[in-house]
Amino acid sequence: MEKQKIWFITGASKGLGLSLVKQLLKAGAKVAATSRNTADLIKAVDFTGDAFLPLQADLASDSSVAAAIEQTHQTFGGIDVVVNNAGYGIGGSLEELTDKEVKDSFDINVFGTINVIRHALPILRAQSSGHIINISSIAGIAPATGWSVYGAAKHAVIGLSEVLADDVKALGIKVTVVAPGAFRTNFLNADSLVLSKNKINAYADIRASHERYTKMSGQQAGDPEKAVEAMIGITEMTEPPLYLLLGSDAYARAFSKLELLANTYHQWEDLTKSTDY
């Protein structure tokens, strides 16, 4: 890295977040990292030194996020890169998922991201610099059967990132939204995945979809260490990408979705244009 950057990373006790923290600390960066349980975070990172600031934060709480950002600023004197990594998968049909399950998912996957950005922006604005990296998913571009709420949450992250990039460009702040495919982390493990407790027999296709994904755990094609290297690499670019797909599976699914959209838009072109005055 060209300089010792200051990073703020959410959801850092496992998965891509943990790999990112470890690589950054090894490279000499300063890292503030959040988790719901700091003891678990400290144990997982296994680092001693002033460069690491473990933080307990409830991302659904605006005041908790504000306190974590402020503590980072006071400790390190600034923030160069914000990584909104915290999130989890949620599967089930809309009919099966409860109101609480849906809202809890959006609290972390969407509103937690918004809370972090809201409180980080004043610091980045004052610096006239910074890079916000929002971790979405290929499911936010091309969702699969049985993952409607997860797809909706991750699609929201893409939408807000696109407009955020325009809103802050003149302020010297860069934005990247990352859409990973399947990586060999604990994302598909029982402790990282919420499946609807209410099961309705009519949704056999959804059960089959969930089984296909959970069986993939530990055999995913993506290498998390390489994903992290790619994310660190874009922060050194003068013009980093707004969109970053990670994994050959993500690339294939994204282009299949592009083809589907193009074909559908062309198919209904006449009806679409018939509504003009």
> Which residue numbers are catalytic?
136, 150, 154
| Separation in Å, CA 8 to CA 54, 70, 128, 146, 200 | 10, 11, 17, 32, 41
Task: Check if the beta carbon of residue 110 is closer than 8 Å to that of residue 134.
Answer: no
Q: What is the identity of the amino acid at 7?
A: W
Q: Give residue for tokens 């390489």.
A: 226
Q: What angle do CA 149, 151, 154 make, to 5 degrees?
A: 110
Q: How many whole angstroms separate alpha carbon 24 and alpha carbon 51? A: 10
User: Which residue is it, tokens 């571009």?
Assistant: 141
Tell me the Cα Rg of the chain.
19
The alpha carbon dihedral of 133, 52, 232, 192 has a sign of negative
